[in-house]
Structure 1
């Protein structure tokens, strides 16, 4: 039972972080939205993670930034990996 709670918590936490990344990306569509309180708050939470990918993936044509998409894919792989590890540790898989 405890292992299911751990797996659910990991999944929920990483889902919430994914939604924060998506929200931050959507703010880029609106002028000055990232300078708002919500934009700055999301930036402080999301930018350190997305910045890792921006170092290796420059924007295409100087405009199209694919790093959030790659960051979301990586986060999904991390989620699946952590759930597999927890399942293995608790003998579920």
Structure 2
């Protein structure tokens, strides 16, 4: 059972990474990646509610940096380590 939860955390962490990388590039309305807009919108719908909990914007020049993926991934990694620790305790 805990192994399944660890896999779910791994998959969700991967989705957060994909969502973050997708936000750096303009995959929307791209003629070479026809279905990328649908894919990234779906991934954003899955990850945004969790990342919104940690939304912290750091002003940098004219823009800002969102560190919510870093905080979210760190928390998921901590929960995963606790779950794995429960198995081997």
What aligned pairs does 1:15-30 form with structure 2 within 5 A after superposition?
15-30=10-25
Q: CA deviation at 1:27?
A: 0.3
What aligned pairs does 1:1-80 form with structure 2 within 5 A after superposition?
6-33=1-28, 36-54=37-55, 57-61=56-60, 62-80=63-81
- Unaligned 5+ segments in structure 1 are 1-5
Distance 2:50 2:58 in 1: 16
State TM-score, norm by structure 2.
Answer: 0.77
Q: CA deviation at 1:8?
A: 1.6
- Unaligned 5+ segments in structure 2 are 29-35
Higher strand share: 2
Q: RMSD of the TM alignment (CA)?
A: 1.8
Verify the 8 A CA contact 1:10 1:83 in the aligned structure 2: no
Q: Give the number of equivalent residue pairs.
A: 80
Query: Which deviates more from structure 2 when the two are superposed, residues 23-32 or residues 38-47?
Result: 23-32
Verify the 8 A CA contact 2:54 2:68 in the aligned structure 1: yes
Higher helix share: 1
